[in-house]
Structure 1
């Protein structure tokens, strides 16, 4: 996989599939992951902190929600099961990740409320009540800022974004950058070396 990353659009490596098991709240999840996608062998620790420390939507939340950089779909699956009325957009540049996310939501019985798409496949008029992301820090600061600069303005009025970033990967500098862009940013939690940031317009 030299030169290939989880943010590669079309992974060329053979897909070795495996199950990833985790528990959020009172629910156990078993999702299918594969090589060539982000954190294919376990629930990423940052994603785990995000899902356990951010405010998950309740059963009356209608969305729509965005899982930005969805990977094989752990955030999407949690959002879709905790908010059974909501539509969730699962967005990733990685075609293998999108295929896995679609399969996982189908096995959970929530695929009818999930829209799996590449970044250009989301209609321009969709505005999100919530954006959730464990953003791909390793793409570089310019790419990261460009991605957030593209999607955060698509929050609906009163919407909120939940982000998790490793402290040693620039979590505090990202906090400052977001504030400099005019966003209201609060650090909701700091655990296991990760910052959970709440972002409001």
Structure 2
């Protein structure tokens, strides 16, 4: 059930399966399970994000925020083999799956964990995310205000958000928090928001 995917320990009984992520530049076979986000197929928003974002930085630390079973982080790891990729989630079942999927793909430049497992001093050259909109606006804002300030000065985040789930209001809110934000693309009612590091002016608001 979708409502369990942001629980730390999903109550849904496990039933694993395998799905495929096929993009022009890669093909990943991914193990999924009940109790994680979009277990039956790679979510359309995730696919649109991965087909739209510019190439990730070649080096540095890159973050997949709300990694689930790993399609975004593993794409980053494939496209930027010299970078160090981090995937963070609250769902332990998803984190375990993501680690297994990295091993299957032979990707050793990616690590998955809970938020507390990530060094608080790390700064990210890129953040890619299909953020968990359904946790509620207040919790979502707290999540973004925890991680977006950890962008490097030249770093950028790319978020995919459905229009009817508040992408336009989120864009305005991010700008109000001091993060320059623009709509990079719009497709199938999804917006790709490009968020730059917070400006000095924004830090003093």
Question: What band does the TM-score fall into relative to the shorter chain?
Answer: over 0.9
CA distance in 1, matches of 2:3, 2:56: 35
**Alpha-carbon deviations, 1:28-65, whole Å to 9, x = none?**
2211111000000001000011000111326xx01210
For 1:63 and 1:132, locate their aligned partners in 2 and report how far apart those are by CA, in whole Å: 14
Q: Does 1:67 align with 2:64?
A: yes
Q: Distance in 2 between matches of 1:157 and 1:163?
A: 18
Q: What residue in structure 1 maps to residue 49 of structure 2?
A: 50
CA RMSD, Structure 1 to Structure 2 (Å): 1.2
Partners in 1 of 2:97 and 2:189 — Cα distance? 28
Q: Specify every segment of 5 or more residues in structure 1 that has no aligned partner in the other structure, as ranges.
A: none
Match of 2:180 among 146, 160, 184: 184
CA contact (8 A) 2:4 2:12 kept: no
Aligned to 2:30: 31
Match of 1:88 in 2: 85
Q: Is the 8 A contact 1:4 1:11 kept in 2?
A: no
Number of residue pairs matched by the alignment: 197
TM-score, normalized by length of structure 2? 0.93
Determine the C-alpha separation between the residues in 1 that align with 2:191 and 2:123.
25
CA distance in 2, matches of 1:21, 1:142: 33
Q: Contact 1:101–1:116 (CA<8 Å) still a contact in 2?
A: yes
Counterpart of 2:157 in structure 1 is 161
Structure 1 length normalisation: TM-score? 0.95
Quick check: 98-107 or 112-121, which moved more? 112-121
